[in-house]
Amino acid sequence: MTEGNFVDYIKVHVTSGKGGQGSAHLRREKFVAKGGPDGGDGGRGGHIILKANKNLWTLYHLKFKRHFKAGHGGAGGKQTSTGADGEDVYIEVPLGTVVKNTDTNEVLKEILEDGEELVIAKGGKGGRGNNHFKSSTNQTPRYAQPGLPGEEANITLEMKVLADVGLVGFPNAGKSTLLSVITAAKPKIANYEFTTLKPNLGIVEYRDYRSFVMADIPGIIEGAAEGKGLGHYFLRHIERNSTLLFLIPADADDIRKQYDILVDELRRYNPEMLDKDRLVAISKSDMLDDELKAEMKAELDKDFEGIPYLFFSSVAQQGLMELKDRLWEMLN
């Protein structure tokens, strides 16, 4: 999936259909002098409905269509026949979509199950025909109700990636390179910060035809929780990952300090993120010789007490199977 096709935030304007007019028809038949009222009710207006589809991965299909309008209800007819209901409009969204009212910023729902539906604009009720208004004192009412208007709303759809493993790290830590090596994803890779501007998803193939989904999320910088850099734009994608893989390059000035900054940004954005399983992976370790690696291990054992860590190199393809094994254990 190329970066330009990954759309995870969209605003749409929706209008439901108005209800049909009730009928004020009076029964007219041969040999029936005064047949009385027989006007039917109007049909209801069409709803605008969001529907979850597990086969969608982004909101890209809504990028060029932002206005949705449902059909109006049909008018009532004679012989108390009810008008047809307006046509409902379904908007398909991927799992993990958060639905908000744009004007009030109120969260209406998080859509998490395939086939789940949410009515975001209800169609107007159809008006009642004159048949409902007859009484002993008013036997031929010549009026009927008009249909009720539909609803209009501005809706924001925000997608949070549903991946098993989220890659967390500073810009240029080697996240995209890892994803390109252990999955079939082809993220943009370059030697400058913020090469990745949108999340990339890849399916990691594991032993015995099993697999899990990994998300490469744009790099975190200090102050991301306040919205610096790409801040909130991508921190929300980490919320849904069950395991966090912290990537810190072997040539970092202070590995523990980098880890602490990353954890602190996650905590400031949403403290619940710290409940997730964590694994620290030291990337670019092909730059280390055995002696240096042994020295670093002794230091990391002290720094990362109780936090699992490992060394790997995407470019030299070292330690990748061990990394997959660790992640699979944590996920299962």
**Residue 146 and residue 173 in one domain:** no
Same domain (yes/no): 90, 43: yes
pLDDT band per the 50, 70, 90 thresholds, residue 234? low
Which pLDDT does position 19 carry in this prediction?
93
To the nearest whole percent, how much of the chain has pLDDT over 70? 86
Domain count of the fold of the chain = 2
- Pairing type for strands 211-216 and 165-169 reads parallel
How many residues would you count in the chain? 332
- pLDDT tens-place string over residues 149-182: 999 999 999 887 767 888 888 877 777 788 888 7
DSSP 37: B
Average pLDDT of every residue of the chain:
81
Residues 35, 150, single domain; the answer is yes
State how far the Cα of 315 lies from the Cα of 242, in Å rounded to an integer. 26
Question: Could you tell me if 89 and 230 lie in one domain?
Answer: no
Q: Is 217 found in the same domain as 310?
A: yes
Position 261 pLDDT exceeds 80: yes
- Residue at a domain's end among 109, 142, 159: 159
Q: Which of 301, 303, 308, 305 is nearest to 329 (CA)?
A: 308
Higher-scoring residue by pLDDT: 193, 328: 328
* Contact yes or no for 314/189 (Cβ under 8 A): no
Please, which pLDDT band fits residue 1 given cuts at 50, 70 and 90?
A: very low
pLDDT at 254 over 50: yes
Q: How far apart are CA 187 and CA 204, in angstroms?
A: 14
Shared-domain flag, residues 23 and 101: yes
107, 138, 159 - which closes a domain? 159
Strands 107-111 and 97-101: antiparallel
Predicted confidence band of residue 14 (pLDDT cuts 50, 70, 90): very high
pLDDT of residue 222: 57
* H helix count then E strand count, the chain: 5, 14
Q: Give the integer Cα–Cα distance in Å for 155 and 103.
A: 8
* CA 161/CA 8 separation, integer angstroms: 8
* Of the ranges 23-32, 66-75, 263-272, the best mean pLDDT one: 66-75
> 323 and 194, same structural domain?
yes
Is pLDDT larger for residue 232 or for residue 84? 84
190 and 309, same domain (yes or no): yes
| Of the ranges 28-32, 79-83, 117-121, 132-136, the best mean pLDDT one | 117-121
Q: Assess contact for 89 and 50: CB atoms under 8 A.
A: no
Q: What pLDDT does residue 232 have?
A: 52
Does residue 186 carry a pLDDT above 70? no
Residues 202, 304, single domain; the answer is yes
Note the pLDDT of residue 231. Answer: 47
User: Could you tell me what percent of the chain has a pLDDT over 90?
Assistant: 18
Average of per-residue pLDDT across 80-107: 90
Nearest Cα residue to 89 out of 4, 13, 2: 13
Residue listed under structure tokens 């893989």: 245
**Residue that terminates a domain, selected from 123, 143, 159:** 159
Domain that holds residue 31: 1-159
CA end-to-end span of the chain: 27
The reply to whether 84 and 193 lie within a common domain is no
Residues 41 and 143 placed together within one structural domain of the fold: yes
- Rounded CA separation 209/194 (Å): 33
CATH assignment of the domain containing 53? 2.70.210.12
Compute the distance between CA of residue 177 and CA of residue 115 in angstroms, rounded to an integer: 35
The CATH code of the domain that includes 295 is 3.40.50.300
CA atoms within a 13 Å half-sphere pointing along the CA-CB vector of 148? 12
